Amino acid sequence: DGGITQSPKYLFRKEGQNVTLSCEQNLNHDAMYWYRQDPGQGLRLIYYSQIVNDFQKGDIAEGYSVSREKKESFPLTVTSAQKNPTAFYLCASSWQGHSPLHFGNGTRLTVT
Amino acid sequence: ELKVEQNPLFLSMQEGKNYTIYCNYSTTSDRLYWYRQDPGKSLESLFVLLSNGAVKQEGRLMASLDTKARLSTLHITAAVHDLSATYFCAAPRRTSGSRLTFGEGTQLTVNP
């Protein structure tokens, strides 16, 4: 079955540590996205990539980094520079054009 | 800058009743997306509205788009408990059609 796999589902880290969230898709989608969701709020775009080896900053890119070395994979690193990293992180992918986003099941990151 | 506003943000209704969720967006767009999110889960695509006057229906949910008024509605008919969820609308940005701006979400609770 095609889909988007995010891992891990839950992640706990100490402040000051970098952490990488995995996102893999087998939908053959060109575009991939990372969103952040805080309790009771909508989604905010962190980074997106429309083709391999290229990505752009979204609205809240500070303290995050990404790579897109393969079409299937778009990992997100939350660095120690991110001031408030505790959140629910959602990865999505889509065809180019008008197609809707397909979301992974999310990673809930807690930093203490 | 594109802003997407939903109202109401919280909606508690009884089973069997009808209600409408509104989604206003601030800049011209010919597309609008609706998503559903169950508590602690990811987002699921409900509707893609691609033109002015577009209407889509699935079960007890019907979505419509008025691009001139910059307004989309999600109408719930004869609500049932299974419809309890948070509903998000999202519109694409003019500068990059693949980047969506999400509303804050409408948290719907259907009571028996």
Tens-digit pLDDT profile for residues B57-86 = 999 999 999 999 999 999 999 999 999 999
Q: Are A6 and A91 in contact (CB under 8 A)?
A: yes
| % of residues, chain A, pLDDT over 70 | 99
Residue A98: the pLDDT is 76
Least Cα separation, residue A11 to chain B (angstroms): 15
Residue type, A25: Q
Q: Which of A54, A60, A48 has its CA nearest to residue A23?
A: A48
pLDDT digits over B14-52, tens only? 999 999 999 999 988 889 999 999 998 999 999 999 888
Q: What's the rounded Cα separation, in Å, for the pair A73 and B15?
A: 43
Peptide linkage before A8 cis (omega within 30 of 0): yes
Cα gap A80→A19, rounded to integer Å: 9
| A49-86 pLDDT per residue, tens | 999 999 999 999 999 999 999 999 999 999 998 999 99
Is B103 part of the contact surface with chain A (CB cutoff 8 Å)?
A: yes
Is B3 an 8 Å CB contact of chain A? no
Residues of A in contact with B97 (CB under 8 A): 97-98
> What does the pLDDT read at residue B58?
96
**Lowest-pLDDT range of B41-45, B66-70, B95-99, B100-104:** B95-99
pLDDT of amino acid B74: 98
pLDDT at residue number B40: 87
Instruction: Tell me which residues of chain A have a C-beta less than 8 Å from any C-beta of chain B.
Output: 31, 35, 40-45, 48, 50, 56, 58, 90, 92, 94, 96-106
Residue B44 near chain A (CB below 8 Å): yes
From B111, B112, B108, select the one nearest B35 (Cα to Cα). Answer: B108
> How many angstroms separate the CA atoms of B54 and B57, rounded?
10
Q: How far is A91 from chain B (nearest CA, A)?
A: 9
Q: Work out the angle at residue A32's Cα, subtended by the Cα atoms of residues A55 and B91, and round it to the nearest 5 degrees.
A: 100
DSSP strand pairing (A102-103 vs A43-51): unpaired
Are B99 and A45 a contacting pair at CB < 8 A? Answer: yes
In this predicted structure, what is the pLDDT of residue B42?
92
Angle subtended at Cα A57 by Cα A53 and Cα A58, rounded to the nearest 5 degrees: 130
Can you give the pLDDT at residue B64? 97
Could you give the C-alpha distances from A83 to A38, A86, B15, in angstroms and in order?
A: 14, 9, 43
| Confidence class for position A95, pLDDT limits 50, 70, 90 | confident
What is each CA distance from B21 to A1, B5, B32, B42, B87, in whole angstroms?
33, 11, 14, 20, 9
**Which pLDDT score, from 0 to 100, does residue A42 have?**
87
Contact A92, A35 (CB under 8 A): yes
